[in-house]
Structure 1
Amino acid sequence: MPHSNISRAPRQHLTERVLQAKTAKNLTWAGLAEGTGLSVVYVTAALLGQHPLPEAVAEVVAERLGLDRGAVAELQTIPLRGNVEDVSSDPTIYRFHEMVQVYGTTLKALVHEQFGDGIISAINFKLDIKKVDDPEGGERAVITLDGKFLPYKPF
């Protein structure tokens, strides 16, 4: 039976334990996700408190991290999602806010022109990030947001 959190505190506390164990054991997000059948993005988001994990996956990652049965149970709870009430000052997170501030209306206009009136789901959604070489030198991040379009329905 799924259980739900009504506070961010339990998952925030667990996230701290996850990060400490990950660092102490010199693990990677990819290594933690390996063999779970879930994407590294989903497992990372779950371990950072944003998604529940299926029981079998919670058991695998908890074992890799050396976490107890209580952590296995908590990893399966449906979290209170979202991290902050306002815009984060962390430079990496803020850049994503900045991208939406600059390109949000453009994305909205193009989505509506191509699909009609509706939204792109963050529930039926996939996220991927890849590092690629920049032809001008250095590296680039290719971030793919893949969400199902959900049209508004008149009633």
Structure 2
Amino acid sequence: MISKQEAAAAVRSAKAELGITWAQLAEAVGRPVAWTTSALLGQQPMSEAEADAAATLLDLDSEVSAALRSQPARGALDAAVPTDPTIYRFYEVVQVYGPTLKELIHEEFGDGIMSAINFRFDVQRVPDPAGDRVVVTLDGKFLPYQW
């Protein structure tokens, strides 16, 4: 059996070779584009039908489909501080605004956290005269601490 990382590499390669978008893959899988992308990059387990739909669209074999169905070891960063510029900016956002986000969540909801398990996110492009904006929405269930 191949690893989830090897399956992700096969997905990326086939996607580029065939000119297929993440949105087209999400439509074939029947799930949101953010979740589908995460799953195909190895961070979510897919059902047999979802994995087979992606593999079929990408003309990949059953070994890739099986790897896409396996339980992931979540967390995709190779280092504590990411070096990829796009990923680093999210690290920077948390470094700069993390304490503010924590304070605002606690003020609004009380003592607790935003779930990364019961979680959705979206990425949108918004036109702006000064340059297009990247809008990232993080949508997690509030989980109160229980003592």
**TM-score range normalised by the length of the shorter chain:** over 0.9
**Which runs of structure 2 are paired with 1:1-155 in the superposition (5 Å)?**
10-84=3-77, 85-134=79-128, 136-154=129-147
Separation in 2, partners of 1:30, 1:129: 12
Separation in 1, partners of 2:94, 2:39: 23
The one-letter code of the counterpart of 2:96 is V
Q: CA deviation at 1:35?
A: 3.9
Separation in 2, partners of 1:10, 1:117: 39
TM-score, normalised via structure 1 length: 0.90
Matched position secondary structure for 1:83:
coil
Q: CA deviation at 1:37?
A: 2.4
Separation in 2, partners of 1:86, 1:64: 35
1:115-152 per-residue CA deviation (whole Å, 9 max, x = no partner) reads 01111000100000110111x33200111000000001
The one-letter code of the counterpart of 1:112 is H
The one-letter code of the counterpart of 2:82 is S
Structure 2, gaps ≥5 residues long: none
RMSD, aligned α-carbons: 1.2
- Give the percent of matched residue pairs that are identical in Structure 1 and Structure 2: 52
Q: CA deviation at 1:13?
A: 1.1
Runs of 4+ in 1 over 3 A off after TM superposition: none
